[in-house]
Structure 1
Amino acid sequence: MSAPLAPSLLGRALGALGALAAVLATAFVVAPRALAGDFADERDLRDAFRAAFVEYWRSGDRDFSPALESVVDYWFRYHVAKGVIAALLLIVLVALGALLWRAFLRGRGLGAGRNAAFASAGVVVTALAVFSLLAVMANVQGAVAPYASLLPMLTGGDTDSEHAETRARVRQQLAESVSGNGETSPALAVMISDFSLYHVAMAVIAAVVAIVLLGLSVVAWKRFPRSADTRARRVLGSFGVLAALSSLASIVVVVANTTTVADPGPALLALFDGGW
């Protein structure tokens, strides 16, 4: 085992990592839109996407129109920026959590109040790390299939007559495609293909995460009986259970997305019916 950090060094390390985590958390919220450029806010993006989608759908072409290509490229850059920042935040939070839990395990004689502070901070940081992991997963998925990631913006909210008419036609074609009673237009084929890719991406991502979490759970449970310290056993047991449950949740995500990939039409139709 590595030697414990001196209190002063530990304090500086915790402070530096905490400050870096705060900066990255702020950047996650405010930086991606500025880095991606083009659109002022979500409403501006939604309006631009809807107008570009109507133009594209009416063209009958398979290839995106310049306007739609611009929106999809922006959304790709947005998700890449958000995913990179979330990944950096996850790394910092893991390092911060490791220091906090190590300090807690080696903190006998420091007083109940200080030990409780280390434990509480460790729980909070662990929870934030889980949320950061989810953010990484979602943004990688959005970067892999940015067009499908934009599709929910076609539903809900205020709409004009052109958009409402186009959406109704999309829904009609989808319903006919699902029932096998109609032809699939080039634009609809692209939509179904990217929607399927969107779910393939999450299935793969969740499978990788499930494997990693399962490995961490195994490591924790292997160390559990070897530790004679009650406090260490509680921490190892808690992490073992958390990793195992999170792995099971990831497996459920894999199954759900794989099912959608096998038959994407009904799920895409549900989206346009407002069910996603």
Structure 2
Amino acid sequence: MIGLLLVAGAALVAAFVFAPAALLRPSDAKLQDDIGRALVEYWRSGSPAFPARLTTLVDYWFQWHAIKVAISALLVIVLALLATALWQRYLRARPWYAAVATAATVLTVFAIWVLSVNIQVMALPLIPLLGLLPGRTADGNLAQVLSEMREGLTDSASPHAGSPTLTALLGEVERYYWVTAAISATLMVATGLASARFWKRRIASDPSATRVRFMHSTLGVITALTACLLLLMTAASAFSALEPATSLLGVIGAA
């Protein structure tokens, strides 16, 4: 069973990397150029409504990450089963299984984080999509638009400060980071509760059952550290949501 899970995990990692490109056939350079042209069109329209070109790109980025969500969800299941099987093997067989079981547990936690990130992007694709812009290295019309956006974000007296387009983008930034904060907070609570459960089971276990106690201790530490990292991510996301202008400057590479 462990061998089958390893093969499945490797196949899913490969699919995660290559499947979106194989299914949607993108070109990174073309995508970046298309985003730049779409932003220029959107900015010069002076309207909060997305133009057709930008809507197409947002839909495309949604599909890209929807594929990744499906694959990463399967990967979480496979890695969780693998970690469980390895811990069970550790309890019944050789001590060195503890190392690979710990590694599989850490990989499971990482896969859950990757899944959450792709869910965030799928929920609100525009802001992550704008992160692909060349920012300060842009030239031509895009450079001018980014300069005008930066002026509107940093100078309240600028004629661009009240742009309906800029207001819409700031709203997108706020929603994106609040969604990020909500997902991080949910995972933080879940991992915190899991950590408390592992420590409780360690205390309640037979003192002579050293392997059981070690397993619960290891799982308790991993989930506790994960909860702490998620707390920091939640706070950072909430701060970004409360400072949308600064966050948007960072996203477009103009900060």
TM-score (norm 1): 0.85
Residue 34 (structure 1) aligned to one of 22, 34, 50: 22
Aligned-pair distance for 1:130? 2.1
- Cα separation, partners in 2 of 1:273 and 1:52, compared to 1, 3 Å: closer
Aligned-pair distance for 1:274? 4.7
Which residue in the other structure is 1:169 paired with? 148
Q: Deviations over 1:132-175 (max 9, x none)?
A: 11211111111111001112222348533111111101111111
**Structure 1 CA distance, aligned partners of 2:225 and 2:113?**
15
Specify the code of the residue in structure 1 equivalent to 2:60: Y
What's the secondary structure of 1:254's corresponding residue?
helix
What's the secondary structure of 1:154's corresponding residue?
coil
- Cα separation, partners in 2 of 1:274 and 1:115, compared to 1, 3 Å: farther
Residue 3 (structure 2) aligned to one of 15, 18, 24: 15
Residue 44 (structure 2) aligned to one of 58, 61, 66: 58
**Structure 2 CA distance, aligned partners of 1:180 and 1:250?**
38
Which residue in the other structure is 1:43 paired with? 29
Q: Deviations over 1:174-193 (max 9, x none)?
A: 1124x899642111111111
Which residue in the other structure is 1:238 paired with? 218
- Structure 2: which 5+ runs fail to align? none
Q: Does 1:91 align with 2:70?
A: no
Which residue in the other structure is 1:10 paired with? none
**Structure 2 CA distance, aligned partners of 1:227 and 1:95?**
23
- Cα separation, partners in 2 of 1:168 and 1:157, compared to 1, 3 Å: closer
Q: Does 1:25 align with 2:4?
A: no
For the 8 Å contact 1:221–1:240, the answer to whether it is kept is yes
Q: Deviations over 1:7-55 (max 9, x none)?
A: xxxxxx11221111111111100112333x2x52322211111111111
Aligned-pair distance for 1:56? 1.4
**Structure 2 CA distance, aligned partners of 1:237 and 1:115?**
15
**Structure 2 CA distance, aligned partners of 1:45 and 1:175?**
28
- Cα separation, partners in 2 of 1:180 and 1:231, compared to 1, 3 Å: farther
What's the secondary structure of 1:164's corresponding residue?
helix
Matches within 5 A, 1:192-203: 192-203=170-181
Specify the code of the residue in structure 2 equivalent to 1:222: K
Which residue in the other structure is 1:8 paired with? none
Specify the code of the residue in structure 1 equivalent to 2:5: L
Which residue in the other structure is 2:234 paired with? 254
Q: Deviations over 1:37-95 (max 9, x none)?
A: 2x523222111111111111111121111111111110011111111211110111001
Q: Deviations over 1:87-131 (max 9, x none)?
A: 110111001100001110111xxxxxx531x22321221222122
* Higher relative contact order (CA closer than 8 Å, sequence separation 6+): 2
Which residue in the other structure is 1:132 paired with? 111
Specify the code of the residue in structure 1 equivalent to 2:20: P
Identity %: 33
**Structure 2 CA distance, aligned partners of 1:40 and 1:151?**
16
Matches within 5 A, 1:54-133: 54-107=40-93, 114-116=94-96, 118-133=97-112
Residue 210 (structure 1) aligned to one of 166, 188, 195: 188
Which residue in the other structure is 1:4 paired with? none
